[in-house]
Amino acid sequence: RKEVEQDPGPFNVPEGATVAFNCTYSNSASQSFFWYRQDCRKEPKLLMSVYSSGNEDGRFTAQLNRASQYISLLIRDSKLSDSATYLCVVNPRYNFNKFYFGSGTKLNVKP
Amino acid sequence: GAGVSQSPSNKVTEKGKDVELRCDPISGHTALYWYRQSLGQGLEFLIYFQGNSAPDKSGLPSDRFSAERTGGSVSTLTIQRTQQEDSAVYLCATTPGTGNSGANVLTFGAGSRLTVL
């Protein structure tokens, strides 16, 4: 079983829609969680860290569910510029220098 | 530097040649990672450095791949006798390498795109 799993998509949504992605992780000892965004032929860039209590940054909301071992990313009022691949990254408690990547969820926002 | 710098940004080489890819980390970042990303695929971990030592090199695909880091700063990934399947984007990322999970965030360079003909 993979450490981190994501639905590869693509998610095709119209502008203005609300879209949500989930990411499941297998190791309950995971400590830190992140969402990265990767544009086509570019490097991944940090979108947001995910905190235990959940956190929001503008149109983006991240949630952590430790009991069910998943994190989620909610994007409200989607823009064309949100089209990208969203990577889930997990950092275990037992080794803070180890990072596990999901394979990414592709989002296409259409006009 | 202010960001992670990688060079060359693009490299085209012939099968069988050796290539060197360079990564210049964010100043003060002690942890450095190399990843490989083939077209349309996810990130594949290659090797991790803490300072100049490499406690985890489990992702290096073969003995044609090697990496070193000197002065706790610049790292070089070397691929000997390149093969067509080595064609990919090679990404370097660094973190402060501290135990503070809130600060232990990966920052990526723009990558080196390698094409082996």
pLDDT in tens, A37-70: 999 999 999 999 998 888 999 999 999 999 999 9
Residue whose structure tokens are 């803490």: B50
Does any CB of chain A come closer than 8 Å to the CB of residue B48? yes
Q: What is the pLDDT of residue A1?
A: 76
Q: Tens digit of pLDDT for each residue in B26-77?
A: 998 999 999 999 998 999 999 999 999 998 999 999 999 999 999 889 999 9
3-state SS string over chain A?
Answer: CCCEEECCCCEEEECCCCEEEEEEECCCCEEEEEEEEECCCCCCEEEEEECCCCEEECCEEEEEECCCCEEEEEECCCCHHHCEEEEEEEEECCCCCCCEECCCEEEEEEC
Does any CB of chain A come closer than 8 Å to the CB of residue B53? no
pLDDT at B101 over 60: no
Give the three-state DSSP class for B86: helix
Cβ-defined contact of B33 to A99 (cutoff 8 Å): yes
A20-24 average pLDDT score: 95
Q: Tens digit of pLDDT for each residue in A30-39?
A: 778 999 999 9
Q: What is the pLDDT of residue B4?
A: 97
Does any CB of chain A come closer than 8 Å to the CB of residue B54? no
Region of poorest pLDDT, from A82-91, B5-14, B70-79, B89-98: B89-98
Taking the CA of residue B111 and the nearest CA in chain A, the distance in Å comes to: 7
Region of poorest pLDDT, from B2-16, B33-47, B87-101: B87-101
Q: How confident is the model at residue A97 (pLDDT cuts 50, 70, 90)?
A: confident
Asked whether B64 and B79 are in contact (CB, 8 A), the reply is yes
Distances (CA, A) of B53 to A106, B50, B68: 36, 6, 8
Does any CB of chain A come closer than 8 Å to the CB of residue B31? yes
Q: How confident is the model at residue A96 (pLDDT cuts 50, 70, 90)?
A: confident
Taking the CA of residue B99 and the nearest CA in chain A, the distance in Å comes to: 6
Say which of B42, B91, B104 has its CB closest to residue A96: B104
